[in-house]
Amino acid sequence: MESAFSAADLSAIWLTFKLAAVVTVILLLVGTPIAWWLARTRSFWKGPVGAVVALPIVLPPTVIGFYLLVAMGPNGPLGQLTQALGVGLLPFTFAGLVVGSVFYSLPFVVQPLQNAFEAIPERALETAATLRASAWDAFFSVALPLARPGLLTASVLGFAHTVGEFGVVLMIGGNIPDRTRVVSVQIYDHVEAMEYAAAHWLSAGMVVFAFLVLLALYTLNPTGKRK
């Protein structure tokens, strides 16, 4: 039997993991303040902002892909911005996929974090305040450690959901080897070209990966543990 994965397959796998890792880091940085705000605010805007964050769960990836393609194009607002900044246009680039995936996976990071922050008893933060901890200090030494299970869930889901992305990438990626051809697109191409053996290898790999990730999540983070 030939080797299971071709060079193109391996490149797609590497690219997919690179994309998911970058997106997860960005999402944790962007998503944590959003989740913290959503968890603590009593503002009127809580509802609307929460709804916007959750949109990608409901919207078909084609909607996100279509709007991103237009918005990041030469006449779109994002495209105008990136051109003015001298970075050029984002479609068909790795950076473009990162932007698309950040939108697409945002709720999968924000929502577990928000739940974790909401579960922190108000008293824990008040105690920190009476011990003269600054707001930052209280956040980093009290809130974050208490929200650790949520942080883990958010990272794993953000990463895994980005690995599982297909529609958005197909619409803004342009299928370029080493830059935008991720595993899901590579599988699609194999199937279209009737290379079922190659498609099987990659697909089975994805199934194993998804199972192991979820298994790790449920083992490390049993839901019944709280209290």
Partner 1 sequence: MCLISRFAARLLIFVYLLVVGQTAHAGEKITIAAATDLKFALDEIVVLFSKAHPADRVETIYGSSGKFQAQIRQGAPFDLYFSADIAYSRALKDEGFAASEVQPYAVGRIVLWSPKLDTGKMSLTDLVDPSIRKIAIANPKHAPYGKRAEEALKAAGMWEKVEAKLVYGENVAQAAQFVQSGNAQVGIIALSLVVSPELARQGSYALVLDTLHQPLEQGFIVTKRAAGNMLAQAFARFMAGQEARAVMSRYGFLLPAEVK
Q: Note the residues at the interface with partner 1 (CB under 8 A).
A: 69-70, 72-75, 79, 88-89, 91-92, 170, 174-176, 188-189, 191-194
- Smaller CB separation from partner 1, 4 or 189: 189
Helix (H) or strand (E) holding 116, with range, is helix 94-118
Q: How far is the CB of 72 from partner 1 (least distance, A)?
A: 8
- Smaller CB separation from partner 1, 75 or 130: 75
- Smaller CB separation from partner 1, 73 or 205: 73
- Smaller CB separation from partner 1, 51 or 176: 176
Q: How far is the CB of 22 from partner 1 (least distance, A)?
A: 21
The amino acid that residue 160 corresponds to is: A
The amino acid that residue 223 corresponds to is: T
- Smaller CB separation from partner 1, 203 or 221: 203
| The CA-based dihedral angle spanning residues 193, 198, 200, 206, taken in that order and rounded to the nearest 10 degrees | -110
- Smaller CB separation from partner 1, 8 or 213: 8
Q: How far is the CB of 88 from partner 1 (least distance, A)?
A: 8
The candidate with the shortest Cα–Cα distance to 11, out of 151, 186, 211, 139, is 186
- 81: tokens are 């911005």
**For the chain, first and last CA: distance in Å?**
53
Q: How far is the CB of 206 from partner 1 (least distance, A)?
A: 20
Q: How far is the CB of 200 from partner 1 (least distance, A)?
A: 14
Q: How far is the CB of 68 from partner 1 (least distance, A)?
A: 10
DSSP for residue 136: H
Instruction: Give every CB contact of residue 26 below 8 A, 6+ residues apart in sequence.
Output: 98, 102
Rounded to an integer, what distance in angstroms lies between the CA atom of residue 54 and that of residue 186?
28
The candidate with the shortest Cα–Cα distance to 41, out of 30, 49, 29, 53, is 49
